[in-house]
Amino acid sequence: MEKPPDKVKEPFSAYGRFSYADYLSWQLDEMVELIRGKVFKQAAAAPRRVHQEISMVLSNKLYEFLKGKICKVYVAPFDVRLPVSSRKHEDIDTVVQPDICVVCNPEKLDELGCVGAPDLIVEILSPGNNKKELQLKYEVYEASGVKEYWVVHPDERSLLIYTLGNRVSSQALTGFELNLDEVFGEL
**pLDDT per residue as tens digits for the range 88-114:** 888 888 899 999 999 999 999 999 999
Architecture of domain 51-184: Alpha-Beta Complex (3.90)
**pLDDT per residue as tens digits for the range 37-63:** 788 776 655 678 889 999 999 999 999
Name residue 167's beta-bridge partners.
179
**pLDDT per residue as tens digits for the range 2-13:** 444 444 445 555
| Dihedral sign from CA coordinates of 42, 62, 36, 110 | positive
Q: How many percent of the chain have pLDDT more than 70?
A: 83
pLDDT at 149 over 60: yes
Q: How many percent of the chain have pLDDT more than 90?
A: 39
- Give the pLDDT mean for 161-177: 77
**pLDDT at site 3:** 43
Q: Rg of the chain's alpha carbons, rounded to an integer?
A: 18
Q: Domain limits of the chain?
A: 51-184
